[in-house]
């Protein structure tokens, strides 16, 4: 009797394990490939562990503006832009926890626009459904995702099961084979030149005090995690023509610098000093085009070496 019970238990465990493997394979095969516009986790995890001097988090203001390859050309610093579309501060926190499982950067740069994002933006599904399945993704589902999205974030097939009608064999193969490193390292170059930039700058509306304080609390968690791991946290605003009111930049600088070890750099009004031309280097008022991003990133690499002590070595 005892042997029979053990056999049945073993069979049950093998059945569950096989089901998990098959469901995981089906999820990978049906989920659309993602190599640009943020949340590029498969590409990131293909990188050599502990090979990066810095990580970059943030929204499209990060992945459209920052070319790690150009930064490395000008400074020798190796890094990755693990940004995501409209990535909130809460999502950035869970991204950082997951990134630190395979990388040990000396500095973390966070594009600061998310301090004035709503609690839930429009791309929670994309940002979280592409994270590796594990404790950080589960925790993110219950702390920074809309309740209606949690099922799909925890079980990929909920979002992507009906793609079997349209998925190609090439997509299936790419989803099942091991990922390869990408030379873009999280950067998404965009083509085009902004119109009406002769009317710039354009003022963005800040969020309410309650929303700002919530975002600030997530930033504090990021700074605390950086202190625990020996990483220098840096909040940075890029040279943009979509700008928050001056008083908010002063407030954010004060709040960030009050956090132990955190640095704050406001480049939002520095486009001309950097050598960027609003008539040629911008895709729109908030994002650089490819030429502008490469130029900015070359400049940024030198700036990082000179202004972030942990990267000056």
Residue 178 confidence (pLDDT): 76
- With b for 16 or more beta-carbon neighbours within 10 A and e for fewer, the 91-122 pattern comes to bbbbbbbbbbeebebbbbbbbbbbbbbebebe
Asked if 115 contacts 215 with a C-beta cutoff of 8 angstroms, the reply is yes
pTM, two decimal places: 0.89
Return the percent helix, strand and coil in the chain, to nearest 5.
50, 10, 40
> What pLDDT is attached to residue 265?
98
Q: How far is CA 38 from CA 18, 196, 210, in A?
A: 32, 27, 27
Along the chain (313 residues), what's the average pLDDT of each consecutive run of 10 residues?
A: 62 48 47 91 97 98 98 98 98 98 98 96 96 97 97 85 66 69 96 93 92 98 98 98 94 97 97 96 97 98 98 89
* pLDDT score of 26: 46
At residue 172, the pLDDT reads 55
HSE at residue 171, side-chain half, CA atoms within 13 A, is 16
**Phi, psi (degrees; rounded to nearest 5) at 249:** -65, -40
Cα–Cα distance measured from residue 279 to residue 282, given in angstroms and rounded to the nearest whole number: 7
What does the pLDDT read at residue 161?
A: 57
Please tell me whether the peptide bond between 173 and the residue prior to it is cis, using omega within 30 degrees of 0.
Answer: no
Q: Which domains does the chain have, with CATH numbers?
A: 35-138+181-311 (3.40.50.1110)
Report pLDDT for 140: 98
pLDDT at position 66, please?
98
Is residue 108 within 8 Å of 224, Cβ to Cβ?
no
Q: Which of 311, 289, 287 is nearest to 300 (CA)?
A: 311
Query: Which residues, in sequence order, are CB contacts of 131 under 8 Å at separation 6+?
Result: 39, 41, 94, 95, 98, 137, 140
Rounded (5°) CA angle 185-220-116: 70
Report yes or no: 76 and 47 within 8 Å, Cβ to Cβ.
Answer: no
Q: What is the dihedral of CA 203, 222, 122, 178, to 10 degrees?
A: 130
């Amino acid at each position: 009797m005892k042997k029979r019970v053990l056999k049945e238990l073993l069979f049950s465990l093998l059945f569950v394990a096989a089901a998990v493997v098959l469901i995981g394979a089906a999820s990978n095969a049906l989920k659309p490939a993602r190599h640009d516009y943020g949340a590029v986790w498969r590409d990131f995890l293909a990188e050599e562990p502990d090979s990066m001097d810095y990580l970059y988090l943030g929204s499209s203001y990060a992945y459209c503006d920052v070319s790690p390859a150009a930064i490395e050309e000008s400074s020798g610093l190796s890094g990755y832009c693990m940004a995501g579309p409209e990535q909130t501060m809460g999502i950035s926190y869970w991204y950082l926890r997951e990134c630190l499982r395979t990388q040990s950067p000396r500095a973390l740069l966070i594009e600061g626009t998310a301090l004035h994002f709503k609690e839930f933006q429009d791309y929670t599904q994309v940002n979280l459904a592409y994270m590796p399945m594990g404790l950080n993704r589960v925790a993110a589902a219950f702390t920074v995702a809309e309740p209606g999205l949690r099922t799909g974030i925890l079980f990929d097939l909920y979002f992507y099961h009906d793609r079997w009608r349209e998925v190609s064999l090439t997509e299936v193969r790419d989803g099942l084979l091991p990922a390869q490193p990408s030379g873009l390292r999280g950067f998404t170059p965009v083509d085009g030149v902004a119109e009406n930039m002769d009317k710039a700058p354009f003022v963005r509306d800040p969020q309410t005090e309650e929303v700002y304080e919530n975002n600030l609390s997530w930033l504090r968690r990021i700074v605390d995690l950086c202190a625990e791991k020996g990483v220098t946290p840096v909040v940075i605003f890029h040279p943009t023509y979509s700008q928050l009111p001056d008083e908010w930049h002063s407030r954010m600088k004060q709040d960030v610098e009050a956090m132990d070890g955190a640095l704050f750099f406001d480049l939002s009004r520095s486009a001309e000093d950097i050598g960027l031309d609003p008539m040629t280097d911008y895709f729109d008022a908030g994002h650089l085009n490819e030429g502008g991003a490469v130029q900015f990133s070359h400049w940024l690499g030198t700036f990082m070496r000179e202004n972030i002590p942990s990267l000056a070595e």
